[in-house]
Structure 1
Amino acid sequence: MIKSMTGFGRGSTDSNQRNFVVEIKTVNHRYCDLNIRMPKSFMPIEDKIRKLILDKVNRGKVDVFITETNYENKKVKAVLDENLADSYVNCLKKIKEKYDIKEELSISLIAKFQDVITLKQEDEDLNKVWDILNTALNEALNMLLDMREKEGMKLKSNVILKCNSIEKYLNSINDMSENLVDEFREKLNLRLKDLMKDYEIDENRIAMEVAIFADKSCIDEEIVRLGSHVVQFKDTLELNEPIGRKLDFILQEMNREANTIASKSTNLQITKLVLNIKNEIEKIREQIQNIE
């Protein structure tokens, strides 16, 4: 199913006095650029989070915000750095001896030195954290994917209408192109008769000029190829896979054929129709920039 690259999803879960909120926002991007903002304590499970998201999002700039509210009494303990404390005590003793200081060393003094005693939160079970967080993450992803699919279907409908317009213009060009050579022959004859009233017209030379014109202005192949590209474009819209880059390539080929038709055409009406086709192609190009 066709998907847009723009979307938003939010999920939350509460368990054991803890609340997790996950928000995911995606916008256009040439590749898949995933950025996750979350508490540092969750870094060990970042790979799991990335894998879950990348399994469902193939393209776009993806910003993930994970917040936690913990109402539990966190288990914290004091930790003594014995090596650092020994170093401080030895330094203080040297100072005391060197300067003959009478004051005795105290526990409170040593404890005041930085990093001698630190508070450390006990490690939590990240498997349990993942089980809780996973629920909120999937809820956010499902909302995101649903929004991207709905937006994708709107884009698909809009693009198909423009493809139908291109086919309509192309059919008109095809009808006009059938009479181009006859029109050229008639105009050439009238022009020559007007310029060479008193001279005999060389029919062989006229036939040669008509043949040269027919060869240079023939757009049958371009019309067939452009029509084939439009059909291929529509078929690609039905694929159940990321199709944004493939559509962009097909659109380049469509534009190439339209340019060739315009360069070969000597008919003003055909030129106008080609301009209409190029206008529709440009509108489609703007739309598919947002397709995954």
Structure 2
Amino acid sequence: MIQSMTGFGKSITQIPNKKITVELKSLNSKNFDLNARIPSQYREKELDLRNIISNSLQRGKVDLSIYVEFTGEQTSTNVNTEVVQNYMHQLREIVNASEVELLKMAVKMPDALKTEREEIDEEEFKAIEKAVREALEEINNFRTDEGEALEKDLKLRISNIGQLLDKVIKMDPERVEAVKERLRKGIEDLKEQADENRFEQELVYYIEKFDITEEKVRLDNHLEYFEKTLKTDDSNGRKLAFISQEIGREINTIGSKSNFAPMQQLVVQMKDELEKIKEQILNIL
């Protein structure tokens, strides 16, 4: 079963005086890369959250966002009364304005508001951790659903390459005869008496050079191995990428050896299917 690296998960938890929203978003990446946007009072627990997320998601470019909304009377931000009054006193000497206008200007000044650092409560962090795990469950479900769609497409592409390979195998005898005929015609065009033994030697040489038996067998094996890997319990995008490289190697060799236009057209179609496979694999966990 494969999983996509693309996903989204969200969880909302309510604790006394606070509503905490946790959002997780992931995109494809070669490694695990977490960007955390969390309130400053939770920074000391960031490493714990990173470990929880990395153990669950393993790979991908992940964005973690934690939003805190105060629902009670308590707040960590207060008006710095002495500073605001001092600003208003100075502003009176500069502008002729009402007390309300002076206050509006004063609260925009530096240090007009002060935020008291809150010590994180263990019970509160447990609630946050629970929300993170719920968001992880949601994002993993999202990844699994995306993975099922990817798997269907990959199976279709591999099947298409297999069908094209069958056409190549059926066409191969015709290609060999065409190569023989070109060689025979080339010798006749020399207008010299061709040595039959020499002709046979040259024929064997070129037939061996253009022989694609090994490539056909290896390509068929790689296609079968790719399908088996798709059916395994783990999602291994790196392994699938390696197998696709081997598939491409055999397809390229068949194309270079074929020396036969109809077969090369089939090779172009196989390459097109393989490129689509490689694009999809970039998003597999």
Q: Normalising to structure 1: TM-score of the pair? A: 0.78
**Letter matched to residue 4 of structure 2:** S
Distance, in Å, in 1 between the alignment partners of 2:133 and 2:197 is: 78
RMSD between superposed Cα atoms in Å: 2.5
Distance, in Å, in 2 between the alignment partners of 1:185 and 1:121 is: 86
**Letter matched to residue 59 of structure 2:** R
| 1:71 Cα deviation from its structure 2 partner | 3.2
Distance, in Å, in 1 between the alignment partners of 2:115 and 2:274 is: 64
Q: Cα distance 1:122–1:256, how it changes in 2: closer, same or farther (>3 A)? A: closer
Distance, in Å, in 2 between the alignment partners of 1:191 and 1:38 is: 76
Query: Helix, strand or coil: the match of 1:29?
Result: coil
Query: Helix, strand or coil: the match of 2:119?
Result: coil
Instruction: Determine if contact 2:24/2:62 at 8 Å carries over to the other structure.
Output: yes
Instruction: Determine if contact 2:4/2:146 at 8 Å carries over to the other structure.
Output: yes
Instruction: Determine if contact 1:218/1:264 at 8 Å carries over to the other structure.
Output: yes
Distance, in Å, in 1 between the alignment partners of 2:266 and 2:73 is: 73
- 1:56 aligns with 56
Query: Helix, strand or coil: the match of 1:2?
Result: coil
**Letter matched to residue 276 of structure 2:** K
Which is higher, the Rg of structure 1 or of structure 2?
Answer: 1
Query: Helix, strand or coil: the match of 2:176?
Result: helix
Instruction: Determine if contact 1:75/1:122 at 8 Å carries over to the other structure.
Output: no
Distance, in Å, in 1 between the alignment partners of 2:268 and 2:131 is: 50
- 1:264 aligns with 257
Query: Helix, strand or coil: the match of 1:55?
Result: helix
Which among 224, 230, 237 is matched to residue 231 of structure 1? Answer: 224
Q: Does 1:4 align with 2:4?
A: yes
Distance, in Å, in 2 between the alignment partners of 1:291 and 1:272 is: 30
Q: Cα distance 1:230–1:119, how it changes in 2: closer, same or farther (>3 A)? A: closer
Instruction: Determine if contact 2:2/2:151 at 8 Å carries over to the other structure.
Output: yes
The one-character-per-residue Cα deviations of 1:71-108 (angstroms, maximum 9, x if unpaired) are: 345498xxxxxxxxxxxxxxxxxxxxxxxxxxxxxxxx
Distance, in Å, in 2 between the alignment partners of 1:206 and 1:24 is: 70
- 2:42 aligns with 42
**Letter matched to residue 26 of structure 1:** S
Instruction: Determine if contact 2:13/2:131 at 8 Å carries over to the other structure.
Output: yes
Q: Does 1:123 align with 2:119?
A: yes
Which among 164, 171, 188 is matched to residue 166 of structure 2? Answer: 171
Which among 177, 180, 184 is matched to residue 175 of structure 2? Answer: 180
Which among 134, 140, 144 is matched to residue 135 of structure 2? Answer: 140
- 1:10-159 → structure 2 map (5 Å cutoff): 10-74=10-74, 120=116, 123-125=119-121, 127-159=122-154
Distance, in Å, in 1 between the alignment partners of 2:255 and 2:238 is: 26
Bigger mean CA deviation after superposition, 158-167 or 128-137: 128-137
Query: Helix, strand or coil: the match of 1:4?
Result: coil
Distance, in Å, in 2 between the alignment partners of 1:119 and 1:256 is: 62
Distance, in Å, in 2 between the alignment partners of 1:214 and 1:121 is: 81
| 1:191 Cα deviation from its structure 2 partner | 5.4
Q: Cα distance 1:221–1:191, how it changes in 2: closer, same or farther (>3 A)? A: same
| 1:241 Cα deviation from its structure 2 partner | 2.5
| 1:281 Cα deviation from its structure 2 partner | 0.6
The one-character-per-residue Cα deviations of 1:200-256 (angstroms, maximum 9, x if unpaired) are: 553222211210111110111111111111111111112222411111111111111
Query: Helix, strand or coil: the match of 1:178?
Result: helix
The one-character-per-residue Cα deviations of 1:38-90 (angstroms, maximum 9, x if unpaired) are: 111112222221122112101110000001123345498xxxxxxxxxxxxxx
The one-character-per-residue Cα deviations of 1:166-201 (angstroms, maximum 9, x if unpaired) are: 0111111112223433333344445555764xx655
- 2:86 aligns with none
**Letter matched to residue 142 of structure 1:** E
Which among 273, 276, 283 is matched to residue 269 of structure 2? Answer: 276
Q: Cα distance 1:273–1:35, how it changes in 2: closer, same or farther (>3 A)? A: same
Q: Cα distance 1:122–1:66, how it changes in 2: closer, same or farther (>3 A)? A: closer
Distance, in Å, in 2 between the alignment partners of 1:122 and 1:8 is: 30
Instruction: Determine if contact 1:21/1:67 at 8 Å carries over to the other structure.
Output: yes
Q: Does 1:162 align with 2:164?
A: no
